[in-house]
Amino acid sequence: MARDTLSRSLHDVGLAAWFGGTLANAVALNPAAAEASTSTDRGAVANVGWDRWTPVNAAAIGAHVLGSVGQLIGNKGRLQGQQGVASMSVAKTALTAAALGVTAYSRVLGKRVSQETRMPAESGTQPDTGTPPSVASAQKQLRMLQWAIPALTGALVVVTSFAGEQQRASEVKSGVLRKVLPTA
């Protein structure tokens, strides 16, 4: 079996940054914006933080996806020959697609919020009475979605751990045997 260090590294580091960065922003940046002295400063602080994070997050997601493709290519034999690997790969792909979709939609909403550079807000995801209605709607949606991305990417971390366990020699042997000699 060949080594896939580059694709594993891209996959894991990209996923770690995607998960950790969005979790940190939900836990720290959005609530910390509420500490700014005026309501218009609150919105500006959150916008600047998220706008700075966006290119890093895009690079992390790109690295993760590239690494994921490399992992699929590197494990094509196991996908076909070891019971359980294909279903795990389907689960990872579905979680990745969901995380990508939620992230993309969050970015659309984030752009709507960040276009109003000096808008009043209670925090990064909580509107103020003076927040424009379209921005307030986006903030309310982002308040929920900020937790969906770490939940989905965290689930990906767990499935990736399971995938690693499937590569143990004993697991490969039993998975291949179950595939070749299915019990009735």
pLDDT higher than 80, residue 105:
yes
pLDDT confidence bin for 184, thresholds 50/70/90:
very low
How many structural domains are present in the chain? Answer: 1
pLDDT confidence bin for 69, thresholds 50/70/90:
very high
Percentage above 70 pLDDT, the chain: 90
Domain that holds residue 62: 5-176
Q: What is the pLDDT of residues 139-174, one digit of tens each?
A: 999 999 999 999 999 999 999 988 877 676 666 666
Q: Is residue 183 part of a domain?
A: no
Q: What is the pLDDT of residues 112-140, one digit of tens each?
A: 998 877 788 888 889 988 899 999 999 99
Q: Which two tokens stand for residue 56?
A: 């890093």
Please calculate the CA angle 22-96-82 and round it to the nearest 5 degrees: 135
Q: Is residue 181 part of a domain?
A: no
Q: Which two tokens stand for residue 42?
A: 């609150």
Rounded distance, CA 105 to CA 148, Å? 11
Q: Is residue 182 part of a domain?
A: no
Rounded distance, CA 108 to CA 121, Å? 19
Q: Is residue 171 part of a domain?
A: yes
